[in-house]
Structure 1
Amino acid sequence: MSITSLHTKLAAAPNSRLRFLALDGSLVTKSYADLRADVVGVMSELADCGLGAGDLVGVLGPNSYEWVVADLALLGLECVSVALPAEGRPSAAQLAELVATYHLSALLVTGTGPADVESASAVARIGDRPLKLHKRRHTCEECPSLPADVFSIAFSSGTSGSRKGLLLSKAGVENTIRVSAAAWQVTEDDDMLIVMPFSNFQQRYLTYLAIWFGLDVTVVAPERMFQKLKVLEPTIILGPPSFFEVVYNRVRAAGWRDKLPYYAAALLHAVAPGRISRRARARLGKKWTGMYGSRVRLMFTGSAPVPPGLVKVFHRLGAPLFEVYGTTESGWIAFNLPERYRVATAGRPVEGIAVDIAEDGEIVVASPHHQALGYTFGAEQGQDSVFLPGGKVATGDIGRFDRAGFLRLAGRKKNVIITRSGVKISPEELEHEVTTGCRVTRAMVAPSGPDGLLACVVWLDDAESEERRSEVDSYVKELNRQREPSHRISKVVFRPETELTVDEGLLTRNFKIDRDAVTRKIFSTKDRADR
């Protein structure tokens, strides 16, 4: 079985379903039998337009049923899909520019878009059936040379926000599917929740996994997530820490009377941790964790620094939240799982992955089936520093193993701050101390100017509260007394958490802090002064 024939796998679970809850509240439900019929129909129409194996075909738009149909149809035709990040509503001229820039034979648009899509001859809207477009032909010199195993190109934005086109491997992704299914012990009773954009490859792979094993899939617009999860009842949820910080922050902000159930659950967890008291703790924690529904059996988080306190709160409340670690280049690297976990770690290496720590602390992974084979579309220049000889991939992350073999992440290698005296500082470790000890949404440590002194930007739900500011200032001063001078934070900058969004440009598409953007916005303006 190959992912290129996933559409045939749909017949094995005809009654499984996909559900799409849009931003406007509308719900679309399709059985796998319905999905298969639509995929086969689109495959036929695209083939009639001259598209086939090896053609680069873009897919652009917000999450929708049509996005999944287009993706599976391109897999079935063995085209190479190019998942373009959706940003606003491009004009027909901009769509034509995308076709030329990425050497596309065609571009499929989902959702709402310009009314004159038809004026770009190689572009079609998936919702308009039958599909009609004129395949664009490129010269051999224009088209990138792709390895035979590449089936899709996805774009990854790192902490700097810069895009890299990744060449995704059939064998690598099929291995990721098998590893995930075995580790998570998926069954046909599961319902996989998807919230992030399909242009983020992890969300597509989760859809492939669900179809491969006959699971249900529920796709929710992020703005609707917490309104509808009680009704939709997923069983497996993956997301960045921000998906779970709502509960964490509500518990921390609650008064002592409202927090009595939490105190009781925490006491039970201390006396009888693990499965022994989990059911009782879950009942006590329902007022907070019930927003995710009553069927959730696995919650995974990663892709951004995970406050240990976040995971501890969920475990005390009997909620199955676990930190995991992976990259688009390699796939999954380490898992925490219900029967084997350690808080404040990313887990132990997954099956088939060898993890080494280089002399400078960088995590390097070796696997016969990495998820990506390299970079393209202008990102090839840095490829040799990531894809190393001998089937190794340098992750760019710094970490170490503890005595029990659990991997602890310390931050990004490129974020390391080197002082004038040559001292190396991992800002993520300082940020972790602040977010653990204070009621802040996020924190970022960076040099505040040419003097090299460290500043810490903290985002608060009430940035104007003198009490909250005083609390953070006092905590930072106490931390400074325990640190070497080179590691002390000289100033704290307070910002409202409402600005910490993708639209504001301070978060990447993966909800990581865009450090360059924050530095430009805050330390390059008058906001550099203490607030």
Structure 2
Amino acid sequence: MRIADILARLQGRSTALILVDDKGQETHKTFDELHRDTLNVVERLRALGLGPGCRVGIAAPSGYGWMAWDLACVELGCISVALPNERPTRPWAELIEAYQLSVMAADPAWLDGGDASHDRLQSMALDAPMPVKTAEPRPLVHQPGTHSLVFSSGTTGKTKGLIISAAGTERLLQLYHDAFGVEAQDRFMTFLPFANYQQRMIYYFCLYHGVEFVSVPFPLLFTGLKKYQPTFVIAPPILYETLQALTRASAGAQAAQDPDLLTRKLAELTGGRMRYMITGMAPIKRAALDFFWQHGISLYEAFGITEAGMVAWNKPGQVRVGSVGKPAEAGSVSLSDEGEVIVRRDALLSLGYFESSEEDARSTFIEPGAVATGDIAEFDADGFLHIVGRKKDAIITSNGEKFHPEPIESMLHADPRISVAVVLAGARQGLAAVISTKLHEDGAAVQALRAHVQQVNQQLPAQQQIKQVIFTGQDFSIENGMRTKNMKLARKAIAAAFLESA
């Protein structure tokens, strides 16, 4: 597929688009309407003199207008700059100059600041009047094949700017189609922001192949699954772990007498039409994976990073639960001497960073066509990849031994009363475990969990045993700083919050 072909393929199609805002208001459109509205945006940009190489900033929550402006950039050969989906804290003028934008397209509700009259600032409203050219466009020379500039928080929480490749995007979407296919009546649903490039790739996939597309805000995710009945979803582990808990709670004690009740309840919670689901972005509890497979929904674990794209995945006919699957592209994945995952492709998803530290750029883009992911892994005898942990999260003991906390955390998560377990180098000698549980004030439950920790310790060498356990009822979320924007644990923040006061 080619991204440049998407717009023309929308014309005349009645395929449904449903976009829900944070107030619950629905926008229902067809692909054909998106085609017409995108062409109107193209004319607005042409009226401003924009053409190939001009940068267009997009600052708005996910929505129909976001898609139209994005596709208009593709049609004109402009380079979209996808700003994070929250309202910018920096002045418009500063952002426009920092990223050398010819135009900044912003959500109308965000245009009430002191510099909202900037001559390069445009409302994203699709019914806005045709603009009058007041500033000269400034086309720039980009790396060949540049499609968009995006931002990613990565696993560290530090925001980095990436140059997205058109060829890399197209290659990955072709691999995805080859692996998972498209069926009549397919419908995809997302709750993640379009500023996250994975979501844009999926809506490109849906638009190109005629798949219905639904976008809902996170607070409406679980009601959205029931209402809109998607057939496939791609999401971080928190969705699946929460669905597992909701299913068990809904079934209650009756599940012991009715073996099929959990299967029916899970189908109800997910809309009843689910063909498959994919988890990635962070490690998932093995119990959640097993639960979905045992109760009728194929949940494929995958692994990727924005710099390289999808690295490995389980897929229909090729599954090993507990692994992240085989390389998405045969021969593209190898391991360094210390076990770090290296991805080599003719077309990586990213051409490099446009905003990062020199150290990050040097340690990630290690040579032309090669990315070091920062993840330590191993292949099993059948070629399935198993992630051990993040290279930077390795704990070094006083005698110089290095190991990763994730396998220990996985052992702790075998007890379903534990919502999240985080293993850290303790403030005192030995390891500490911060355990989030809803039962943190239940004395008997806490004692049982301490016994579970001791059982885990018995399976570990002395240097890897947990010496300090801290219980909390606090959820680990993006809002309280305990997770990064891509839902991974913010280990430094957790250590600062719990170990320094322990």
- Please indicate the TM-score interval, normalised by the length of the shorter structure: over 0.9
Match for residue 120 of structure 1 among 102, 118, 121:
118
2:276 partner amino acid:
L
CA deviations over 1:392-431 (Å, ceiling 9, x no partner): 2111111111122111111101111111211112011111
- In the alignment, what sits opposite 1:197? 193
1:99 partner amino acid:
I
Q: Secondary structure at the match of 1:258?
A: helix
Match for residue 440 of structure 1 among 413, 418, 430:
418
Answer yes or no: is the 8 Å Cα contact 1:42–1:131 preserved in 2: no
Change (3 A) 1:453 1:301: same
How far apart, CA to CA, are the structure 1 residues paired with 2:237 and 2:478?
15
- In the alignment, what sits opposite 1:325? 303
How far apart, CA to CA, are the structure 1 residues paired with 2:342 and 2:173?
21
Change (3 A) 1:39 1:202: same
Answer yes or no: is the 8 Å Cα contact 1:374–1:380 preserved in 2: no
Match for residue 224 of structure 1 among 212, 216, 220:
220
Answer yes or no: is the 8 Å Cα contact 1:401–1:407 preserved in 2: yes
Residue 427 (structure 2) pairs with residue 459 (structure 1):
no
How far apart, CA to CA, are the structure 1 residues paired with 2:132 and 2:441?
55
Change (3 A) 1:109 1:261: farther
Answer yes or no: is the 8 Å Cα contact 2:111–2:123 preserved in 1: no
CA deviations over 1:120-173 (Å, ceiling 9, x no partner): 221122115135376766989xx7x63111110111112210011111101100
How far apart, CA to CA, are the structure 1 residues paired with 2:431 and 2:55?
46
Residue 479 (structure 2) pairs with residue 523 (structure 1):
no
CA deviations over 1:329-371 (Å, ceiling 9, x no partner): 1111111123221111101111345211111011111111111
Displacement of 1:224 after TM fit? 0.3
- In the alignment, what sits opposite 2:162? 166
How far apart, CA to CA, are the structure 2 residues paired with 1:289 and 1:398?
35
- In the alignment, what sits opposite 2:466? 489
Answer yes or no: is the 8 Å Cα contact 2:248–2:262 preserved in 1: no
- In the alignment, what sits opposite 1:98? 95
CA deviations over 1:28-84 (Å, ceiling 9, x no partner): 110011000000000110111122211121111211111111111111111111111
- In the alignment, what sits opposite 1:34? 33
Q: Which consecutive residues of structure 2, in runs of 5 or more, have no partner in the other structure?
A: none
Give me the TM-score of the superposition, normalised by structure 1. 0.89
Answer yes or no: is the 8 Å Cα contact 1:159–1:515 preserved in 2: no
Structure 2 counterparts to residues 47-58 of structure 1, below 5 A: 47-58=46-57
Match for residue 514 of structure 1 among 474, 490, 495:
490
Structure 2 counterparts to residues 56-455 of structure 1, below 5 A: 56-87=55-86, 89-90=87-88, 94-110=91-107, 112-116=109-113, 118-127=116-125, 129-130=128-129, 132=131, 146-250=142-246, 257-260=253-256, 264=259, 285-389=263-367, 391-449=369-427, 451-455=428-432
How far apart, CA to CA, are the structure 2 residues paired with 1:163 and 1:133?
35
CA deviations over 1:158-192 (Å, ceiling 9, x no partner): 22100111111011000111111111111342111
Displacement of 1:482 after TM fit? 2.4
Displacement of 1:288 after TM fit? 2.9
Q: Secondary structure at the match of 1:259?
A: helix
1:83 partner amino acid:
A
Change (3 A) 1:251 1:62: same
Change (3 A) 1:221 1:369: same
Q: Secondary structure at the match of 1:478?
A: helix
Displacement of 1:253 after TM fit? 6.0
Answer yes or no: is the 8 Å Cα contact 2:57–2:101 preserved in 1: yes
Identity among equivalent pairs (%): 31
Displacement of 1:509 after TM fit? 1.4
How far apart, CA to CA, are the structure 2 residues paired with 1:217 and 1:483?
47
Count residues with an aligned counterpart: 500
How far apart, CA to CA, are the structure 1 residues paired with 2:69 and 2:137?
22
Change (3 A) 1:520 1:332: same
Per mean C-alpha deviation after superposition, the further-off stretch among 53-62 and 371-380 is 371-380
How far apart, CA to CA, are the structure 2 residues paired with 1:482 and 1:32?
56
How far apart, CA to CA, are the structure 1 residues paired with 2:485 and 2:207?
25
How far apart, CA to CA, are the structure 2 residues paired with 1:136 and 1:158?
35
Answer yes or no: is the 8 Å Cα contact 2:92–2:116 preserved in 1: no
How far apart, CA to CA, are the structure 1 residues paired with 2:363 and 2:480?
31
How far apart, CA to CA, are the structure 1 residues paired with 2:465 and 2:262?
40
CA deviations over 1:428-481 (Å, ceiling 9, x no partner): 1111111123421212111122x4421111112343222332222111112112
Change (3 A) 1:103 1:313: same
Match for residue 480 of structure 1 among 453, 457, 460:
457
Change (3 A) 1:139 1:45: closer
Answer yes or no: is the 8 Å Cα contact 1:122–1:133 preserved in 2: no
Displacement of 1:86 after TM fit? 2.3
User: What CA RMSD, in Å, does the superposition of the two structures yield over aligned residues?
Assistant: 2.2
